[in-house]
Amino acid sequence: MATGTRDTKPVPITILIKLSIEKGEVVEEVRYLPESDVNTAAFREKYMKLDQKIEEKKKERGEHSLPPEKPHSPKSQKWIVRANDTVTWESKEQFMVSVDRDIRPCKAKPDTPRNPFLWSGVQKSKWDEADSVYRVTGIVAEKDYEAAVDQMFYKYTAFVEGYEPLDPDGACGYPDSGPP
> Who wins on pLDDT, 125 or 150?
125
C-alpha span between 118 and 99 (Å, rounded): 9
- The tens digit of pLDDT for each residue in 40-58 reads 666 666 666 666 676 777 7
**DSSP state letters, 91-121:** ESS--EEEEEE--SSSPPPTTS-SSTT---S
Average pLDDT of the chain to the nearest whole number: 77
C-alpha span between 149 and 14 (Å, rounded): 18
Query: Which residues, 6+ apart, have CB-to-CB distance to 60 below 8 Å?
Result: 106
Is 123 a residue whose pLDDT tops 90?
yes
C-alpha span between 103 and 91 (Å, rounded): 27
C-alpha span between 180 and 130 (Å, rounded): 34
